Structure 1
């Protein structure tokens, strides 16, 4: 597992995390990425003086009214004393912890598709929008379809390999997720896995993950990466992926003007 964690730190942090950004600014060790809609994302490989670095980002946010949301991504294996306290003071709120999982893509592919379920890649803008809308419906909270659709279409136009797949039952979308190969590496991430509650526990998500893994393998991917919720973690563990660390997204939102 030590080797997998080292591979994660080497190949799946910093530049690999901000490929879809409209711009990326470096603040010392920080990578500060901007996205459409006023969203900011902060990551890093190593962190010196966490309190000072959080203060830099807080000052950047305070000086720019166009920033309406921000996310600072932490990992449990990093040495960053005082980081959580500094984020709290700056108005960030910790979301649910997620398991960072890695494993051989081949362990995911040998899964049958349940009877009555169709798994396919979403190819048209209308299909992509329908899949992203379903993710928003399942996850609740802040809707992301409006932001993600143009980002995915633009990345597909560049040929960087991101794909959206879905499972259907009687023509209804019941599970969706993305596969995102990392250019220049043998890794791909599986993201956004969302399954309607009434269709969970039937093997549908496993079949959807298998289809995504097969597609990634056909493009030269060997390793699969996922930041997994407690819904998907047990499924991926049974398929052979292992947890190498945990991550917590700390989020901030600008309060509406009075």
Structure 2
């Protein structure tokens, strides 16, 4: 399949695909947009072309911001490099949304990537399901990124509670210490599963753990009959994934609005 056709398939199947609502989470439709409300950070899910233009688009954006402002909650609106209209991101900025680092959307064939993981001595991969392990993963991520990412663990717990069959979480364990972790998200009825996470403690990088996590999750995906794996890759991860056989189809940039701290 050519890149354009692969991107069109991704847009068709994945752009409107969201996790089932968990406890306290609701989905609110606002024209072409879907708001995910009740998580630790809200989300706006948009099609490739939101349809609105000019002042109408400004009002649509403002309604999303204001809805989460009422809750005192941050919200993420994820954009892609081929979205329409072309001035969407400018209007998001004008409404107070701040871009996070751009990532590359890469897609690979699950069966081709489902090889035997190769790990350094003393490291094992294990699938985890316990709430405490999700929080251990979040604590590890907080160390790696030098910021409080405790919400990651709570979101993983929430996602597993809502749809346990759609999420596989794998941790790289070195003598009882989590040194890396990643998860696989599969939406039934689609040909895709997403790879997320994969961050590794600095002292354990360069030993093949990231590649092993990709291979292990690819095996889980292939066993489910998943055809494609997709990743929103950082500049550090993208070259590794390309070498493994992933293909770049577009870019993605999250835009986040955050309420002012209470005075």
TM-score normalised over the length of structure 1: 0.90
Structure 1 distance, partners of 2:58, 2:217, is 36
Distance 1:50 1:130, change over 3 A: farther
Q: Which moved more, 1:116-125 or 1:40-49?
A: 40-49
Q: After superposition, where does 1:170-209 map in structure 2 within 5 Å?
A: 170-209=175-214
- Structure 1 match to 2:147: 141
Superposed, which structure 2 residues align to 1:1-258 within 5 Å? 1-14=3-16, 16-20=17-21, 22-37=25-40, 39-51=42-54, 52-62=56-66, 64-110=69-115, 111-143=117-149, 144-145=151-152, 147-155=154-162, 158-258=163-263
CA RMSD of superposed structures (Å): 2.0
Counterpart contact for 1:50–1:81, Cα < 8 Å: no
| Deviation for aligned residue 1:182 | 1.4
Contact 2:48 2:84 in 1 (8 A): no
Distance 1:150 1:171 in 2: 20
Stretches of structure 1 lacking an aligned partner (at least 5 in a row): none
Q: CA contact under 8 A between 1:160 and 1:183: conserved in structure 2?
A: no
Q: State the SS of the aligned residue for 2:5.
A: helix
TM-score, normalised with respect to structure 2: 0.89
Q: Distance in 1 between matches of 2:75 and 2:148?
A: 13
Q: How many residues align?
A: 255
SS in 1 for 2:207: coil
Distance between the aligned counterparts of 1:181 and 1:236, measured in 2? 19
Check the 8 A contact 1:101/1:244 in 2, yes or no. Answer: yes
- 2 CA distance for matches of 1:227 and 1:185? 18
- Tell me the CA shift for residue 74 of structure 1: 0.8
Contact 1:18 1:33 in 2 (8 A): no
After superposition, give the CA deviation of every residue in 1:114-152 in whole Å (9 maximum; x if it has no partner): 322111101322222212321233233352235314313
Moved more, 34-43 or 219-228: 34-43
Q: How much has 1:54 moved relative to structure 2?
A: 4.0
Q: 1 CA distance for matches of 2:166 and 2:64?
A: 32
